[in-house]
Amino acid sequence: MQHRASVLCAAVCLSLIGWPQAGLTAPVLLPDGRDILPLPPAAGSYAQQADVQAYESTRALKGSSRWQLAQNDADLKPQHVIDDFSCAAGFTLNPEKLPSLLSLLNTLADPLEQRVTEEKDFWRRPRPFIGNDAAICTPEARTRLTTSFAYPSGHTTWGWLVASILASALPDRSTQIMQRGRIFGESRIVCGVHWKSDVQAGYVNGGAMFAALQDQPWFVAKMATVRAELGSLRTRSTPPNTKTCTMEHEAATNIF
């Protein structure tokens, strides 16, 4: 691969690039998926055939409750994503009552988007709906998505990173939270805007980013406040929406 075959210094320097953020004394350092992720599936490969099968089979989900969940999961605003994990957490995650968590996600949002954009522009993989008129769950975004690339899935990267943060802060709910992170990624397959392998790469991408954040002092300090904040809210929490939880429970049984 061209990027991986570059001189050692260039590769190392690129992997250490960070993004300055207001209020932080050090940049946000995120690993470079161009040197971590596998190549996207080649044309005619078994992996690409699996991608096509997943895309074609999920077109029949239009109008279903799973389609509605995919539409919901398309919203990446931090305050919306926080609430998306309420059922998994076992109590309502009101972003207005979780200012430290909201601040953390706002700090990470732009660096993550910039990193994923670099990765997508490197591989330049077309999205599955390109060249056909099959429905996607966010038709209003079709034109915009046509000019962006598929691999890896940025939504999945973001959802897996958020899930990892919440699972770390609420370890007794980590199974449910990470399951919701998986569902969040699979929503992009259902939506018709990402291949299955784009989503799988997003899980790896988000996990690598979470690992890289562990010893960054600003992140360690933020996580301490996030844990305290979630613990406090939990003691005076309200139950999540039953209808939403049922929809997510059903989504967890889907196979793509």
- pLDDT tens per residue across span 121-170: 999 999 999 999 999 999 999 999 999 999 999 999 999 999 999 999 99
- pLDDT, average across residues 201-211: 98
Give the confidence band of 23 by pLDDT, cuts at 50, 70, 90.
low
Q: What is the residue type of 156?
A: T
Q: What's the chain's average pLDDT?
A: 93
Q: What is the residue type of 183?
A: I
At 236, phi and psi to the nearest 5?
-130, 35
Distance of CA 247 to the CA centre of its chain: 19
Residue 51 a catalytic site member: no
Tell me what pLDDT residue 166 has. 98
In the chain the first and final C-alpha atoms are separated, in Å, by: 29
Question: Which residue among 188, 215, 234, 236 is the active-site one?
Answer: 188
pTM of the model: 0.92
Give the confidence band of 113 by pLDDT, cuts at 50, 70, 90.
very high
Give the confidence band of 2 by pLDDT, cuts at 50, 70, 90.
very low
Cα–Cα nearest to 213, from 160, 174, 175, 156: 160
Cis peptide before 95 (omega within 30 of 0): no
Question: Which residue among 115, 125, 155, 173 is the active-site one?
Answer: 155
Cα–Cα nearest to 54, from 188, 158, 183: 188
Residue 194 a catalytic site member: yes
Question: Which residue among 51, 73, 84, 198 is the active-site one?
Answer: 198
Tell me what pLDDT residue 151 has. 98
Sign for the pseudo-dihedral over CA of 97, 100, 103, 104: negative
Helix (H) or strand (E) holding 29, with range, is strand 28-29
Beta bridge partners of 29: 18
Residue 3 a catalytic site member: no
19: three-class secondary structure by DSSP:
strand
CA distance 200 to 156: 8
Question: Which residue among 66, 127, 173, 194 is the active-site one?
Answer: 194
Tell me what pLDDT residue 18 has. 72
For 215, other C-beta atoms within 10 Å of its C-beta total 9
